[in-house]
Structure 1
Amino acid sequence: MVEIAAERGRQASSRVSEEGAGWACQEIGTYAGLRPDRNGFSWLNLRTLWRSRNEILAGLFGDPSGEVRRRWVAAQRARGADGDFRITPELGGSFSFLLLGDTGEGDASQYAVVPGMLNVAADTDFAVIASDVIYPAGSGNEYGDKFFRPYQHYDAPIYAIPGNHDWYDGLGGFMRVFCDAAPLKPKPDRGLRGLLWRKPETIDESALAGARALRGKETQQATQPGPYWVIESPSLLVVGVDTGIKGAIDAEQTAWLRRVSLDPRPKVLVTGKPIYTRNDYKPSALEGGGTIDDIVRDPAHRYVAAIGGDVHNYQRYPVKVGDRVIQYVVSGGSGAFMHATHTIRRVDVGGVHEDDFRCYPLRGDSLSFYSQLYAKRLRMKWIYLTPDEASCIMSEQIRNTPVRPLGQVTVTRRMRWAARLLGSWPWPFRLPVGQVFHRYLSEFSDWDTPPFFKQFLHLSVTPDRLTIRCFAATGCRKQEEEPPLEDEVSIALS
């Protein structure tokens, strides 16, 4: 079934037409009827900022995620969890699964992913959420409308690895929902960090039980052994690591990762922090020395791909490592607000050539999206760039051929000034479009109508091959029924 969806999706993607990008949306999708209410959180709300303070405290006083993680792991082992945190579903040599990243805002952009996801999910055996299951602060009391309700009709288990937002309550909500774990006993943390650090919320167990009933079918049940795990199959291991708040992992998880990686089967890494992103290399430190990527690159470990969330778009870097190629993927666009791609410079990191790099949304669509946002919010009509105009500007900046066919466009001084202000190339005077902006003003960029430029992955496994497909979710009815295929890569496993 997914092969049919992929064939249709290739002809309907943003790489083919503006309609494929969702710019010519003739009918709003059915997602609008799935969302239970219009209430969301605002980063400008002082209560929200205060609840999210642990990220700043971890940067100032050190990240306690490693110590707290060790306590969670010890508690799980005391309850009888598998010593190597293995998940062993009944999988044959051939199977498939979904991967969603940074899902849990609970708004229109999260629910817009659901109909298309369900349309290509019929053959999948499970799903994985990579990073930030719940925004803004990982509360166990927010899983109803941000996890159980949107995925209530996905009839297979869902596993997850936590992101930095899931750690803002000490991982209490995540561990309760995915591991069925009881709260940890409080442990004093002396000093200013301990005084200011946000503690886990008390979970309303009655409300959680009601939310769980939304995914109450036997086929949907799964309890994972811990915040990191390995899903086993005869053909492939899916290795999920927990990178905490700041991206590092503790010594105990490091030893586990090294041990699991010695298994002779091919592997895919799923991580809360991508290793390559925005033409930059961020390999994630290991306590005691080295990096996660050192483990991924070791040919004895047979990693063929590393997929990370946290950044809210799609990127793929095919990096040559010795005599093989490892696919490094960013997949964090399954619900949260969109991070710009037009600010990514001409790609050369890790020896990857720009022509081999893939991203979604396309840089031109990203630039046009932000130009429309600012034109509307700031009443600056002159800054608006059509998708064709933005694509021409980005082609001029990146020095490549436009990805999709364009109409007749003459680049003007106004267009170049608009692109400068929107960050299409380094310039000191520009409107904020980066992650700092989103941390505090994300609702300024909240966009509740198509196109959303969301995405999810479908991964097909056979004994000889792994195929990774990136499907788009625009919010348009037509593309719910036939999700555009924005990227596809096939990897030999033998």
Structure 2
Amino acid sequence: MVDGVVDVGAAAARGKQVSSRVSEEGAGWNCQEIGTFAALRPNTNSFTWLNPKTLWRSRNEILSGLFGDPSAQVRRRWVAAQRERGVDPDFRITHEVGEEYSFLVLGDTGEGDASQYAVVPGLLKLGSGTSFAVVASDVIYPTGSGNEYCDKFFRPYKDYRAPIYAVPGNHDWYDGLGGFMRVFCDARPLKVERQGFRLSPGGLRGLLWKKPDPIDEAALAEAQKMRHGPEQRAVQPAPYWVLDLGRLLLVGIDTGIRGDIDREQGEWLRRVSADPRPKILITGKPIYVRNDYHPCAIEGGGTVDEIVRDPASNYVAAIGGDVHNYQRFPVRVDGRTIQYIVSGGGGAFMHATHTIPRVDVGGVHEDEFKCYPLRGDSLSFYSLLYSRRLRMRWLYITPEQGLALMSRQIGNRPPRPTPGAAITARTRWAARILGGWPMPFHLPVGRVFHRYISELSDWDTPPFFKSFLHVSVTGDRLKIRCFAATGCLPQEIEPPLEDEVEIPL
């Protein structure tokens, strides 16, 4: 450390030796000492989807699927209002960073409970000296309300001494983007457009649609004092933007509730992507995830990925949130490689990785694919949760058994040694029931689990399997590193390096 700035290269070298790919201890299993993050929390409240009020406040996702997503119309109103204020017409943010610099990317942060605060100590340590941070999707759960930013944004990142930018996720849109636009764009509420009832999908949606929460301006002003330093100040021109870093452009897009973009944003994206400089896309929804491909439709025709894959656009990576873990797909396109990354491990609870099948999407070979947590750790984690809550000890699969089982199922080499892992009929059946092996049915471990079952378990207990990205530009190289946060003290002291990739600029 020099003048308070961490040598990330040295930290990464140490992080490789203590990661989940080396030992169970590196994954946070058998945690002997809880990290200091517990002292940062303002209370011991745990976020829960089981509260009927939370479910009712989150109804817009279901309504948008049944009756259509109004995000495009509302976004156009926000953008028009910002243009009237005189923001840069290309929504360009210029950030002076010099020839060599670094920044952080973290996604799906804002639950405000232990799993979010567990990320903070490592983030502050490795974020020392970074120029800025970007939140990629779902800044605030459950509905993006401007009244929940205090403990879910300003407090956890009060000691991060640089600006924070963001692209909204679907949960930020449950509030009509009101909280997001107020905090990140300093925008005032849109005027209410009142329409009479119409017997149409839009009319039915309007009857049930959750309206934006009125913001308590006095409380928000008090919360903003936690990040009031001039070096922390950042005002975005719109929910989508381009961050000009000299030799590199960061392009952030707003994918709304359903994961697509409107015509106006599509035209803007084509225009800013025509700049020949290298670019990284930041998006609320990942393009490659779980061995699936989601190119992100543009209203009126075309897709976001068509723009990303165009050699003239010169995109080197696309990073998306929404799914609460880390995944990386190096996709070869016309003789070059684009890194498609999922970075949604910044705070919300973990989405399973053991349900990801053997990877072959986009021509990516399984051995090239990387994820965190490891599939075996994910399987063991869910087996522990279900065995405790259902009082079925036979469901428990040890981390060592989990890695051996998943490697046998996927057909790859175990990411860390598994000497003496006993694979029995019991463990195979447990893996099938937990979704690790093919079976007509299994216990919920995906989005259903996330929304309705997960809070039956104690999510304030490590390991959390959280993560964030440290991105650096040195010389003509761009390096993306994924660091882990388990909630255990040893991993706070030495954040584990779970993956890294170097990209020529």
Give me the TM-score of the superposition, normalised by structure 1: 0.99
Q: Distance in 2 between matches of 1:117 and 1:434?
A: 27
Q: Which residue of 2 aligns with 1:431?
A: 443
CA contact (8 A) 2:169 2:322 kept: yes
Q: Which residue of 2 aligns with 1:415?
A: 427
Picking from 104, 115, 125, the partner of 2:121 is 115
- 1:49-70, Cα deviation, whole Å (9 max, x unpaired): 1100000000001100011000
Percentage of matched positions with identical amino acids: 73
By how many angstroms is 1:183 displaced?
Answer: 0.1
Picking from 200, 224, 236, the partner of 2:212 is 200
SS in 2 for 1:120: helix
Q: Distance in 2 between matches of 1:361 and 1:128?
A: 22
CA contact (8 A) 1:44 1:440 kept: yes
Q: Distance in 2 between matches of 1:288 and 1:40?
A: 42
Picking from 302, 308, 314, the partner of 1:302 is 314
By how many angstroms is 1:463 displaced?
Answer: 4.8
- 1:415-447, Cα deviation, whole Å (9 max, x unpaired): 000000000023123111011221233312452
Q: Which residue of 2 aligns with 1:87?
A: 93
SS in 1 for 2:99: coil
Structure 1 residue 105 and structure 2 residue 105: aligned? Answer: no
Q: Which residue of 1 aligns with 2:177?
A: 171
Picking from 139, 142, 153, the partner of 2:145 is 139
Q: Distance in 1 between matches of 2:273 and 2:314?
A: 8
CA contact (8 A) 1:235 1:462 kept: no
Structure 1 residue 455 and structure 2 residue 467: aligned? Answer: yes
Q: Distance in 2 between matches of 1:197 and 1:479?
A: 43
Structure 1 residue 474 and structure 2 residue 480: aligned? Answer: no
By how many angstroms is 1:43 displaced?
Answer: 1.2
- 1:384-426, Cα deviation, whole Å (9 max, x unpaired): 0100011111011001111101120221000000000000023
Q: Distance in 2 between matches of 1:26 and 1:39?
A: 23
Q: Distance in 2 between matches of 1:364 and 1:54?
A: 35
Aligned length: 493
Structure 1 residue 381 and structure 2 residue 396: aligned? Answer: no
Q: Distance in 1 between matches of 2:222 and 2:369?
A: 44
Q: Distance in 1 between matches of 2:491 and 2:87?
A: 42
Q: Distance in 2 between matches of 1:41 and 1:21?
A: 24
Picking from 398, 405, 409, the partner of 1:393 is 405
CA contact (8 A) 1:131 1:161 kept: yes
Q: Distance in 2 between matches of 1:242 and 1:410?
A: 47
* Residue identity matched to 2:232: Q
CA contact (8 A) 1:98 1:459 kept: yes
* Residue identity matched to 1:84: D
Measured at CA, do residues 311 and 410 of structure 1 come closer, stay the same or move farther in structure 2, by a change above 3 Å?
same
- 1:125-147, Cα deviation, whole Å (9 max, x unpaired): 00000000000011000000000
Q: Distance in 2 between matches of 1:333 and 1:197?
A: 29
Matches within 5 A, 1:245-324: 245-324=257-336
Please tell me the root mean square deviation across aligned C-alpha atoms, in Å. Answer: 0.9
Q: Distance in 2 between matches of 1:25 and 1:39?
A: 22
Q: Distance in 2 between matches of 1:351 and 1:429?
A: 29
SS in 1 for 2:53: helix
Measured at CA, do residues 441 and 409 of structure 1 come closer, stay the same or move farther in structure 2, by a change above 3 Å?
closer
Q: Distance in 2 between matches of 1:98 and 1:329?
A: 14
By how many angstroms is 1:89 displaced?
Answer: 1.4
Q: Which residue of 1 aligns with 2:228?
A: 216
Q: Distance in 1 between matches of 2:447 and 2:220?
A: 32
Q: Which residue of 1 aligns with 2:497?
A: 485
* Residue identity matched to 1:440: Y
Picking from 174, 189, 201, the partner of 1:183 is 189
Q: Which residue of 1 aligns with 2:78?
A: 72
Q: Distance in 2 between matches of 1:477 and 1:257?
A: 43
SS in 2 for 1:169: coil
Q: Distance in 2 between matches of 1:336 and 1:305?
A: 23
Q: Distance in 2 between matches of 1:43 and 1:404?
A: 34
Structure 1 gaps, min length 5: none
Q: Distance in 1 between matches of 2:117 and 2:44?
A: 12
By how many angstroms is 1:91 displaced?
Answer: 1.7
SS in 1 for 2:416: coil
CA contact (8 A) 1:345 1:425 kept: no
Q: Distance in 1 between matches of 2:10 and 2:21?
A: 19
CA contact (8 A) 1:374 1:380 kept: yes
By how many angstroms is 1:39 displaced?
Answer: 2.1
Q: Which residue of 2 aligns with 1:13?
A: 19
